[in-house]
Structure 1
Amino acid sequence: MAGVVQSGLKRIAVDTRPLRVPAYRRLLAGQGISFVGFQLTSVAVSAQVYDITQSSLWVGLLGPANLIPLVVFGLWGGAVADAVDRRKLLLTGSVVAWLATLALLLHALSGGENVSFMLLVVALQSTGFAVSSPTRVAIIPRLVPLDNVPAANTLNFLVSAIGSVLGPLLAGLVLARGGYGTAYLIDAVLFGAGFYAAVRLPRLDPLGAVSRPGLRSVVDGLRYIGSQPVVMMSFVVDLIAMAFAMPRALFPEIAAERFGGSPVAFGWLSASLAIGAVTAGLVSGWVGRVRRQGVALTVVIALWGLTVAASAFAGPLWLVVVLLAVGGGIDMISSVWRQTILQTYAPDEMRGRMQGVFMVVVAGGPRLGDLRAGATASAFGLGPAWAGGGLLCAAIVVVAGLAVPAFWKYDTSKDRPGAAGPPRSTPQL
């Protein structure tokens, strides 16, 4: 009996094989540590903007402040990642994001309450993130064997989720005792871990055909997406999930109206989605064995919308957090499948651009969701903005999934055009 239990646990436990590659291991650890600081800053900025303005609409405007640079520089950064040494590009984008954090720190220490300045600095931070994020992910298939890519993606999402738990919870404590400047200072210090990991990477010059980064290269990437229904729908379903159901911009108002404005309650709300993602990641061994990923994505995103809608009607803080955590776990699983589709379906010379678009959608979708949530709450109230978005997400994603047969029938064991491109074994870098 003990052997059966042990075998079952191995089948569902997170797959750690990619950690055998030292370069990937360093990259993952650096990403995890620096991401705690990034999330700390994200929560602090939202709280500071609401503190200054007392308006969810202004908090929602952080969405477009992030989104515009994500679209412009995400697409451009992905194109550049297909044409240059990805290590140098990762370092450049990381430094830009770090300088933005320093600007927020100086603004807070000076006692400033200039929301317009904060929006501009957030846009600068988003620019750095837009360049570094697709580059970091495009590196992964060059560091680990192809059959380890789903496991590497799961570990990436897991450490990001852990950072998304620790960052907001830390923010709740820091904002209650130390203030906004302390939050930004911690972020600036933790940045060093990610920078060190990037410095230790080997040169990662492009493989295959190299296109000059620019508008034509970006257009070629978008044209490739348009010609591949499976790839296209991996983006569409995520946009539906985030734009309609993401409740993040409502957390400051929820904390103020329902939980007495408690910074600790705000921290728990901000961490709730990531708590579920961490839990799902720890029992994710089965995720890489799912072959019908089109069907699976449609189902889990519909469940995400329904779970978010249910959390709108919960009363106690613990129940709201639990329901949102369930949604976060569902979203984490869908993210692994979407990322794996891009990394195994597309050839290496397209991966930077695919990750650029992926980053625009993954990071930009929630910003659209922030704007939608903030504007809807201002117009119709907190409840309709929260529950209505979740219900719309569930309905729309089912219709969209059924409307594209190639996506609905997608089977990883049969439909992987890009799988032959990358090497199947990797040196221990």
Structure 2
Amino acid sequence: MSGSRGHLIDLSPLKASPAFARMWIGSALAGIGGQLTLVTVMLHVFRLTGSTFAVSMIAVAGLIPMILAGLYGGMLADAFDRRRVALIAATVTFASTALLAALTWTGSETIWWLYALSMITAAANSVGMATRTAIVPRLIPRDLLAPASALNGISMGLTVMAGPALAGILVALTGYGWTYTIDVVLMLSMFLGLWTLPALRPEGDIVRPGLASLVDGWRFLRRAGNIRMQYIVDIIAMTFGQPLVLFPALGTILLGGGAVTTGLLTAAVALGTFASSLFSGRVVQYRWHGRGIARAVQAYGASILAFGIVLLTGVFLPPASEAAPNIALIVVACIALTFSGAADNVSSIYRNTMMQAAVPDAMRGRLQGVFIVVVAGGPRVGALYAGTLSTFTALWFPPVLGGVIVIALVAVLMRRSARFRDYDAENPEP
């Protein structure tokens, strides 16, 4: 890859395309605010209800709107100016967050408002993410798509690292209103990154949004075995290996430390994402992306299994509390989660590159819509899995069982999928 410096990240996409650089910076700053609000809403719901299951329902409530919006948003991105579609989606997210802040400042927030606005934000973000990702191959050449995906890992790592950590600190020191308000301010950067883009009409035959467009996309996906397999592998990882919903309870009950621990655990995942992107120089040069995805997802499953074992160990130690956290256990848990974030990001680099390189432009919006549904929907199903299972068993059980399931299922799929194992980034085929 041109511009690569050994193991360090390749910055060539930022130099090659100022438009991509502006969108990348805007998305990163707005993403910090989005993560800030995501964790704050979780803490807010847990404070109102004291229930991990209620926290998990935040994700579940947004699942159907997110799926519908992702699919329809992908059709919009394949039929209209992608810049305009992305701007409209950002506007809806901004308005939803502003309303959440206003309700909190006036003391009018309820759990139903938190659920409803989370649903709206999830839907708008689904459209925005699908559209922005479909824009990237129009801004940079194909040989820079993998480095661009690694750069997205840097921004994701920063947003998920800074956002949750700030959420825990801000909620503890200032309360919920200020935390939501900061997100409103950070969201403004998204508009700068999108507003300065050129008009981006889809290339090739345009199919108007509707049933025909959706059927056309699904027909393509039926023929695209490699794309379909990466969806399946990611759904397995996110359904059985996503412990985020457990974090508020862990900070209150098992590990101690309250909201600060919740922020640290979430930030640990992001630290792994950031570090693996920072040293992605060799990763982006590996051409066998199918194998790379499978190995990274199995490493992810092993990390989640290790996290569950750490939690199991805590059961046999003296009880912790918000005022007296178990520091050693928190540190070891964060290390396991850091490895999980690194493994997931390596998988994401290969999955994003495969999507952008192997799918034609006229179909890219719809496939990105399905991709976003998988990426964002899997963790929501995973939240239901972890939240429900932990309610009837123990907090350590979902990650232990889930890690084993992820490793085993991916091994079975790879044995049965020679074409996916042999996927070559030099000759991308969907």
Aligned to 2:224: 228
In structure 2, what is the Cα distance between the partners aligned to 1:182 and 1:402? 51
Once structures 1 and 2 are overlaid, which stretch shifts more, 270-279 or 312-321?
312-321
In the alignment, structure 2 segments of 5+ residues that lack a partner are 315-328
CA deviation map 1:126-183 (0-9, x unaligned):
1110111110011001011111111111111211211110001111110111111111
CA deviation map 1:254-292 (0-9, x unaligned):
111123342211110121111100010100011221122
1:164 to 149, 160, 163: 160
2:212 to 213, 216, 220: 216
Alpha-carbon shift at residue 417 of structure 1 (Å):
4.0
In structure 1, what is the Cα distance between the partners aligned to 2:416 and 2:100? 45
SS in 2 for 1:412: coil
For normalisation by structure 2, the TM-score amounts to 0.93
Alpha-carbon shift at residue 42 of structure 1 (Å):
0.2
**Aligned residues of 1:105 and 1:181 also touching (Cα < 8 A):** yes
CA deviation map 1:233-265 (0-9, x unaligned):
011110000001000000011111123342211
Cα separation, partners in 2 of 1:375 and 1:343, compared to 1, 3 Å: same
Pair 1:120 & 2:120 matched: no
1:197 to 193, 199, 224: 193
1:259 to 226, 231, 255: 255
Pair 1:245 & 2:258 matched: no
SS in 1 for 2:128: helix
Paired AA for residue 396 in structure 2: G
Aligned to 1:32: 28
Aligned to 2:332: 319
Pair 1:357 & 2:366 matched: no
**Aligned residues of 1:81 and 1:89 also touching (Cα < 8 A):** yes
Aligned to 1:147: 143
Aligned to 1:6: none
**Aligned residues of 2:308 and 2:398 also touching (Cα < 8 A):** no
1:12 to 4, 7, 26: 7
Paired AA for residue 368 in structure 1: V
**Aligned residues of 2:250 and 2:256 also touching (Cα < 8 A):** no
In structure 2, what is the Cα distance between the partners aligned to 1:100 and 1:177? 24
Pair 1:333 & 2:346 matched: yes
Aligned to 1:345: 358
In structure 1, what is the Cα distance between the partners aligned to 2:134 and 2:87? 14
**Aligned residues of 1:62 and 1:119 also touching (Cα < 8 A):** yes
In structure 2, what is the Cα distance between the partners aligned to 1:131 and 1:274? 23
Aligned to 1:108: 104
Pair 1:135 & 2:148 matched: no
Alpha-carbon shift at residue 403 of structure 1 (Å):
1.8
Paired AA for residue 343 in structure 1: Q
Paired AA for residue 383 in structure 1: W
1:58 to 46, 54, 58: 54
Cα separation, partners in 2 of 1:261 and 1:52, compared to 1, 3 Å: farther
SS in 2 for 1:333: helix
**Aligned residues of 1:31 and 1:160 also touching (Cα < 8 A):** no
**Aligned residues of 2:92 and 2:121 also touching (Cα < 8 A):** yes
In structure 1, what is the Cα distance between the partners aligned to 2:7 and 2:223? 35
In structure 2, what is the Cα distance between the partners aligned to 1:380 and 1:295? 35
Pair 1:394 & 2:407 matched: yes
Aligned to 1:427: none
CA deviation map 1:70-89 (0-9, x unaligned):
11010110111011000100
SS in 2 for 1:84: coil
Moved beyond 2 Å, runs of 4+ = 110-113, 258-262
Q: How does 1:87-98 map to 2 (within 5 A)?
A: 87-98=83-94
In the alignment, structure 1 segments of 5+ residues that lack a partner are 1-8, 419-429
**Aligned residues of 2:423 and 2:429 also touching (Cα < 8 A):** no
In structure 2, what is the Cα distance between the partners aligned to 1:279 and 1:148? 20
SS in 2 for 1:205: coil
Once structures 1 and 2 are overlaid, which stretch shifts more, 382-391 or 254-263?
254-263
2:18 to 22, 32, 51: 22
**Aligned residues of 1:37 and 1:188 also touching (Cα < 8 A):** yes
**Aligned residues of 2:305 and 2:401 also touching (Cα < 8 A):** yes
Paired AA for residue 273 in structure 2: A
SS in 1 for 2:251: helix
Alpha-carbon shift at residue 400 of structure 1 (Å):
1.7
Q: Once the two structures are aligned, what percentage of the paired residues are identical?
A: 36
In structure 2, what is the Cα distance between the partners aligned to 1:196 and 1:158? 20
For normalisation by structure 1, the TM-score amounts to 0.93
Paired AA for residue 177 in structure 1: L
Alpha-carbon shift at residue 113 of structure 1 (Å):
5.0
In structure 2, what is the Cα distance between the partners aligned to 1:340 and 1:151? 9
SS in 2 for 1:10: coil
Pair 1:187 & 2:183 matched: yes
In structure 2, what is the Cα distance between the partners aligned to 1:100 and 1:50? 21
Once structures 1 and 2 are overlaid, which stretch shifts more, 392-401 or 321-330?
392-401
In structure 1, what is the Cα distance between the partners aligned to 2:287 and 2:20? 26
Alpha-carbon shift at residue 67 of structure 1 (Å):
1.3
In structure 2, what is the Cα distance between the partners aligned to 1:403 and 1:66? 34
SS in 1 for 2:309: coil
Aligned to 2:65: 69
Q: May I ask how many residue pairs the two structures share in their alignment?
A: 411
**Aligned residues of 1:244 and 1:372 also touching (Cα < 8 A):** yes
Aligned-residue Cα RMSD (Å) equals 1.6
In structure 1, what is the Cα distance between the partners aligned to 2:86 and 2:21? 16
**Aligned residues of 2:146 and 2:353 also touching (Cα < 8 A):** yes
**Aligned residues of 1:96 and 1:127 also touching (Cα < 8 A):** no
